Structure 1
């Protein structure tokens, strides 16, 4: 976070050549396609959906692979993994690099759709929002992060329009409420409801 904040302050300086406070603006076309055209907007939306699907598939593949299992072990007991001979630093670097690739693809699709990019995107608040997405959607799941991202950004759109000064308080309140009352997030709630429904159906079949 400290490095990210330092980069934000550096890019705010006009001599960096990135537009200072204004950032880079006035994006009009992409590979010859007019960014204001409806067809281009639809194409970018479909590209974003495809990138999400491919990213989810790649993450699922990693989680179920040997690398994913070792990464989980590093998360839970790093010293033990190191003592049995794994290069923990290489595992962390691999996961970090892959996550950076995902972030880069997301940024490349984000900028043409909003038409502006400025150093404010380096703000630590954006990193905190990612944590909130995962907490609300459901930790230890892949689809939970997607659910959390959609819900939080929808809430952000609504609240920043209706109560712009209160949005950060709402975001913090959501994080606290979910952490205290719904630690597994929405994904955990859905799993619990499915389990209860399955148990209810089993009991009904046994009674019949």
Structure 2
């Protein structure tokens, strides 16, 4: 998070942001490779049609719907998008892609933190507002202070 938010500050503290980015990239690539290796036994077959722009867009929409700021967000987004795809594609087979786009636009517009931020928003709304600080009365000036 520090490298994402303020790369110069991390460099000033003595860390090399390039190394942090490299470790993050290698970890993500390793996890993607593992997921790809586990995909074939789960589905039973793989073909080039499954590796295209549409599945990539679905992954991005899943992350956006769930929220990218936490590990729980993309999981929630993947489940929500998969559930919506299954139920809505049965009812509206020709319009599912439009509904998926609408879901993406609505979440980005009205819930920028994704589904993972709903709990934080609910907690914030339940919490009573803080009491305002007591205001001290203005000092009064007496006639003796004016002549002094």
Range of TM-score over shorter length: 0.7 to 0.9
- Residue of structure 2 equivalent to 1:123: 52
Number of matched pairs: 131
Structure 1 residues 53-72: aligned runs within 5 Å: 72=1
After superposition, the C-alpha distances for 1:105-131 in whole angstroms (9 at most, x for unaligned) are 222222112111112233133232222
TM-score (norm 2): 0.74
- Residue of structure 2 equivalent to 1:155: 84
Instruction: Note the aligned Cα RMSD (angstroms).
Output: 2.5
- Residue of structure 2 equivalent to 1:184: 113
Which segments of 5 or more consecutive residues in structure 1 lack a partner in the other structure?
1-71, 203-208
- Residue of structure 2 equivalent to 1:77: 6
After superposition, the C-alpha distances for 1:2-59 in whole angstroms (9 at most, x for unaligned) are xxxxxxxxxxxxxxxxxxxxxxxxxxxxxxxxxxxxxxxxxxxxxxxxxxxxxxxxxx
Of 74, 93, 98, 1:145 maps to: 74
Q: Return the offset for 1:85.
A: 4.1
- Residue of structure 2 equivalent to 1:195: 124
Q: Return the offset for 1:191.
A: 1.4
Relative contact order (C-alpha < 8 Å, sep 6+): which is higher? 1
Supply the distance in 2 between the matched residues of 1:76 and 1:138 (Cα, whole angstroms). 17
Supply the distance in 2 between the matched residues of 1:115 and 1:85 (Cα, whole angstroms). 48
Supply the distance in 1 between the matched residues of 2:109 and 2:48 (Cα, whole angstroms). 34
TM-score (norm 1): 0.55
- Residue of structure 2 equivalent to 1:97: 26
Supply the distance in 2 between the matched residues of 1:108 and 1:98 (Cα, whole angstroms). 15
Instruction: Report SS of the residue matched to 2:24.
Output: helix
Supply the distance in 1 between the matched residues of 2:12 and 2:124 (Cα, whole angstroms). 38
Supply the distance in 1 between the matched residues of 2:104 and 2:39 (Cα, whole angstroms). 25
Which segments of 5 or more consecutive residues in structure 2 lack a partner in the other structure?
131-148
Supply the distance in 1 between the matched residues of 2:49 and 2:112 (Cα, whole angstroms). 31
**Bigger CA radius of gyration:** 2
Supply the distance in 2 between the matched residues of 1:181 and 1:73 (Cα, whole angstroms). 26
Q: Does 1:110 align with 2:110?
A: no
Of 104, 116, 121, 1:175 maps to: 104
